[in-house]
Structure 1
Amino acid sequence: MPTPPRDPKLENPLALLRQLEWRVRHAVENVLSGEYRSAFRGRGMEFDQVVKYEFGDDVRDIDWNVTARLGEPYRKKFVEEREVTVLIVFEDSPSLRFGSGAQSKREALLELAGLVMLLGAVNRDRVGFVHATPGGHVYREPVRGRGQILHAAATLLARPEPPLTDAPLELPWRFLARAAPKHSILIWLGDFPPRPKPDGWLLLQRRYQTMGFRVDDPWDRGLPPGQAFAAYDPTARRLVTLEGSAAERAAHAAWRAQRDEHWHALFPDPLGRLVVGTDQNRLDALVRFFHARMVAARH
């Protein structure tokens, strides 16, 4: 089957984002209950001072050395950054052009990126992006404010599909290390095929809070049952026929296992990675993801 045609909603990305915005705002104000920032920050970034412990303070902040020395409980006080900076890294590889249904993985992943940027706009964060392709990258520095973030998100969603090519796609690791302030949130969106861990990734993990978002086609999870079928492989740029044999299914299962092993190596914390299908609601998955992080931050 050929690659699905471009989703008509992405032909007018600003209109799509405005349609999604009210749903995002409702999710933040009701489901996430105003605690969205704790999903990123936990109990704060920077130590400020030691103060007397008062009823209701978090017991995990008690400084036991000072408490033992002074004979009464004292706790550490933390000061959070004044704002959150979110950097979206969209790895636009040829494999994202695949889709067994009405929507390709690329279109679904772009929608997920737009939703993340809208979350930042609703929460008054600074949001920017890096769009990486085999031909290079485009950078939009983090900005604040609904209008500017909507414009940046529309710019990302309107980026043309990169040409299908054999040229490798290398993320600009050195550039990413200075693309946002220290302690920013870096969300890497891509297809994450099985491959060695990039050398620059460890540096980014030390500098930023890192998360990974992936969109899977149903055929990524398992080959469809039944007779032989044809599918377009965007990485090989040709139509391939699969017989549905036991050997093909075993090879697919091995590929899936290798892919997940690489995925877990990049993001070992389950609360640092999100996988959502092209056949699933992206906003619902995103809300569940951040809600789980918020719950973990409170315990």
Structure 2
Amino acid sequence: MTDAARRFRRLDLTVRRRVDGLLQGDVDGDALGPGTDPEELTLYRPGGDVRRIDWNVTARTGAPHLWRTRAQHELETWLLLDRSPSMAFGTALTEKADVAEEVAAAVGLLTAGVGNRVGVGLLDAAGLHWLAPRPGHAAAAALTRLAAAPREGGVPVPLADALRGLGARARRRGLCVVVTDLVVPDGRIERPFEWEGPLRRLTARHDVLVVEVDDPRERELPDVGEAVLVDPETGAQREVSTSDPELRLAYAMVAARHRDQTAAAVRACRAEHVRVATDQDWTVALARFVRDRGRTHRRRTRRTR
């Protein structure tokens, strides 16, 4: 068995044991039709499906009524995976790029179902390229077999343009998942970010999940004396003294500000947001999201009924 095959099998077992059961199955369509969830109560007409008669309403009104259901269709998922050089960083258990690829593959496994398909966009220093939609297990397997992305160089396609490309390909209502560190080349930490507009337009039609990946050293600067920091995307270097407590405090404050601003931006775009990190078990964060989203969906379903 190859390393990629072992990695995929291990990931499959992890997902089945810890986070399975959220994204499988059908999603609501845009019209009434074959489905299971009640949507509209109407008078019975000859030829109607007698199995959908609401006997309580029929008894109260004296006229037969039945439920028309909202159409359901197979789930179409599109993944945008950020593999830019800023993702090739990690000071804990692994690098951000590795966590991102595993999360993306896990989404493929979670959405596996009859008729469901997953398309993938890969954003790296070579540009933006797409993997054709395929069944969830096949998409997850392909993600575990990816060759390493370039670790240096600028990214010719900004995240905002990649999101526009995602919207152009995701034509049918479904699920869009963006896995990224939300780090922009110009170092902007304050809103508005250029990617907000495209993300907002994406959420107008699709369910959108943004998975933000970070590393503990991006939140706090350790005291390791003199250090040379290098931007992998621009090649810019800066020598700093990490023993300076004021510098470390300023760094932590800027990092915290960036996290607050990105969270506010994602929330304002009406997308769902999950944070994972290289020093933590990403399955815990994903499992928590699965549980909370499932509860929200059940509450909404009860209200519509």
TM-score tier, shorter chain, comes to 0.7 to 0.9
1:246 matched to which residue of 2? 246
1:7 matched to which residue of 2? none
How far did residue 189 of structure 1 move?
0.7
Q: Which residues in structure 2 correspond to 1:166-185 (within 5 Å)?
A: 166-170=154-158, 171-185=161-175
How far did residue 180 of structure 1 move?
2.5
1:230 matched to which residue of 2? 227
How far did residue 89 of structure 1 move?
0.1
Match status 1:46 vs 2:37 = no
Distance 1:222 1:77 in 2: 55
Distance 1:78 1:243 in 2: 65
Q: Per-residue displacement from partner, 1:80-133 (whole Å, max 9, x unpaired)?
A: 532111111012222112212341111121121121112223686311210012
- Count of aligned pairs: 264
Q: 2:163, 2:199 within 8 Å by CA — same for their partners in 1?
A: yes
How far did residue 23 of structure 1 move?
2.3
How far did residue 213 of structure 1 move?
0.2
Distance 2:270 2:292 in 1: 10
What's the TM-score once normalised by structure 1's chain length?
0.74
1:210 matched to which residue of 2? 208
Match status 1:295 vs 2:285 = no
Q: Which secondary structure state, in structure 2, belongs to the residue aligned with residue 243 of structure 1?
A: coil
The letter of the residue matching 2:227 is: A
Q: Which residues in structure 2 correspond to 1:117-266 (within 5 Å)?
A: 117-121=108-112, 125-144=116-135, 146=137, 148-155=138-145, 158-170=146-158, 171-193=161-183, 194=189, 196-198=193-195, 199-224=197-222, 226-228=223-225, 230=227, 232-233=229-230, 234-235=232-233, 237=235, 238=237, 240-241=239-240, 242-266=242-266
Shift in alpha-carbon separation, 1:47–1:92, aligned structure 2, 3 A:
same
Unaligned runs of 5+ in 1: 1-10, 54-65
Q: CA RMSD in A?
A: 3.4
Q: 1:46, 1:78 within 8 Å by CA — same for their partners in 2?
A: no
How far did residue 191 of structure 1 move?
0.9
Distance 2:67 2:220 in 1: 50
How far did residue 232 of structure 1 move?
4.9
Structure number with higher relative contact order (C-alpha < 8 Å, ≥ 6 residues apart): 1
Q: Which secondary structure state, in structure 2, belongs to the residue aligned with residue 203 of structure 1?
A: helix
Q: Which secondary structure state, in structure 2, belongs to the residue aligned with residue 267 of structure 1?
A: helix
Identity of aligned residues (%): 23
Shift in alpha-carbon separation, 1:131–1:145, aligned structure 2, 3 A:
closer
The letter of the residue matching 2:72 is: E
Q: 1:192, 1:259 within 8 Å by CA — same for their partners in 2?
A: no
1:83 matched to which residue of 2? 74
How far did residue 71 of structure 1 move?
9.2
